[in-house]
């Protein structure tokens, strides 16, 4: 685990299991310690849809759903399987073309344990990383240089080791997504491989898209050119 770096995740760009499909379409990959796959899907409000043998079959089912729903659906297909990691069993959950990392769900999943997720939204340059501990968001970022959470700087040293620069832009050619996979391994002890995804027995379910709900405002975190951090709070009526 301690040696995980971006170099160990170059396979995501040439995945025989089909992870390139997830990168192109958008995905969420979440890891939660001590929560079974059926428990995770239950907490997400999923309607059970049986098993999928590997990522290839999960992709086929996702494509069939897109065609049946004419490329728009009110639910998203999630697959979850058990994996070994630091401190015992973890559940790996993978969503294609949707988001399983909503704050409320991640807070619930991480109550009394640890949850880590990363995602992109497919076709747009938005890539997120979240680390939750005991129901609390510890560190999140879209760009490594702009972090938030209760401990936004705690992972800085590890980020540098895996290939992310928390203070400046990465070197040209750096694979930020591969580095995020490595950062996730550092926090979970779970090494995600092409073979793991190809052979995983995914318990699947239809997860409803989270309603917008009510909210009062947002907090925007800002880091200036000198590394000084501040934040601005905006009420709903100001947006």
pTM: 0.85
Reported as half-sphere exposure (CB side, CA atoms, 13 A), residue 213 has a value of 9
Per the CB < 8 A criterion, the answer to whether 80 and 200 are in contact is no
The neighbour count for residue 104, using CB atoms within 10 Å, is 9
Ranges of residues in the chain with a pLDDT under 70 are 1-2, 69-73, 101, 169-172, 210-239
All structural domains of the chain with their residue ranges:
6-214
The Cα–Cα gap between 39 and 94 comes to 15
pLDDT tens per residue across span 83-96? 999 999 999 999 99
Determine the pLDDT at residue 99. 84
Determine the pLDDT at residue 236. 35
């Amino acid at each position: 685990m301690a040696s995980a770096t971006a170099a160990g995740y170059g396979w995501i760009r040439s995945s025989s299991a089909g992870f390139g499909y997830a990168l192109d379409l958008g995905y969420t990959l979440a890891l939660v310690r001590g929560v079974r796959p059926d428990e995770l899907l239950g907490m997400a409000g999923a309607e059970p849809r049986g098993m999928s043998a590997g990522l290839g079959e999960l992709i086929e089912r996702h494509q069939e759903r897109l065609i049946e729903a004419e490329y728009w659906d009110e639910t998203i297909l999630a697959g979850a399987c058990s994996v070994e990691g630091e401190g015992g069993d973890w559940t790996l959950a993978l969503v294609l073309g949707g988001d399983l990392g909503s704050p409320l769900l991640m807070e619930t999943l991480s109550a009394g344990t640890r949850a880590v997720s990363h995602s992109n939204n497919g076709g747009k340059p938005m890539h997120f990383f979240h680390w939750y501990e005991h129901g609390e968001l510890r560190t999140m970022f879209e760009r490594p240089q702009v972090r938030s959470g209760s401990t936004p700087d705690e992972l800085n040293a590890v980020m540098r080791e895996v290939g992310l620069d928390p203070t400046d832009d990465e070197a040209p050619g750096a694979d930020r997504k591969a580095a995020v996979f490595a950062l996730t391994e550092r926090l979970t002890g779970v090494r995600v491989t092409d073979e793991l995804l190809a052979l995983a027995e995914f318990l699947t379910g239809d997860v409803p898209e989270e309603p917008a709900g009510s909210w009062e405002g947002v907090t925007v975190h800002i880091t200036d050119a000198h590394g000084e951090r501040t934040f601005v709070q905006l009420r709903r009526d100001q947006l």
